[in-house]
Structure 1
Amino acid sequence: MPSRGRSDDADLGEVSFDPVEFTFTGVVFEWRGPAPFIYVRVPDEVADEIHEEASRVTYGWGMIPGTLTIGATTWYTALFPKDGGYLVPLKLAVQRAEGIELGDTVEIRLRLGRD
């Protein structure tokens, strides 16, 4: 279960949010969008949790920024909405670094927002 919440610092008058992180697996597929990306669909149960956090992290158009990790490779990107869920774009540098090909099942760690 992702950690969520907010803490108010009464002394400073600042509001901060706990980071929201997810780990999930998905199958790599090609969608006829911008090349040379391939994608992983975020599982529905994780997408539902992301929807709950979307208003505090989105920068518009339904795009959800995040820091993602597959294997030893970490990068910053944005999930984009598709058919009520989200797609994770896997850029070519990530594909090459981790030896990812179409049809592979990958484990993804996602931290929502901008670091």
Structure 2
Amino acid sequence: MTGARYSFTAEVWEHHGQGAWHFIDVPETIADEIEEKYAHRATGFGAVKVEVTIGASRWSTSLFPDKSRATYVLPLKKAIRIAEALAAGSPAHVDLTVIA
């Protein structure tokens, strides 16, 4: 069963810690709606399962709540970043569907 669909453009950022993890912040208004509708179904760490499309790339992953950023963050695998020519600071158009 699929849930709500969202589209937005946001900047890719790199986590400054171990590894070279890259993320995209979900806009606050969308994050608030996702939390309201789906937080009760969240898995470990408050993760919400989603299907994501950026450009020609489509994959399943989870959004993770990030209290310090006050939103959900979307992790970007290296393969996706390479396929879509994304780096820290790049804008990315995201189509996201919550897997309810």
Give TM class, smaller chain: 0.7 to 0.9
SS at match of 1:32: coil
Alpha-carbon separation, structure 1, partners of 2:43 and 2:50: 11
Alpha-carbon separation, structure 2, partners of 1:43 and 1:78: 16
> What's 2:16 paired with?
32
Q: Is the 8 A contact 1:36 1:91 kept in 2?
A: no
Structure holding more helix per residue: 2
Alpha-carbon separation, structure 2, partners of 1:80 and 1:34: 18
Shift of residue 56 of structure 1? Answer: 5.0
Segments ≥4 residues shifted beyond 4 Å: none
Q: Which has the higher contact order (CA 8 A, sep 6+)?
A: 2
Alignment partner of 1:109 is 2:92? no
Shift of residue 54 of structure 1? Answer: 2.0
With the length of structure 2 as denominator, give the TM-score of the two structures: 0.87
With the length of structure 1 as denominator, give the TM-score of the two structures: 0.76
RMSD: 1.8
Indicate which of 44, 54, 58 corresponds to 1:70.
54
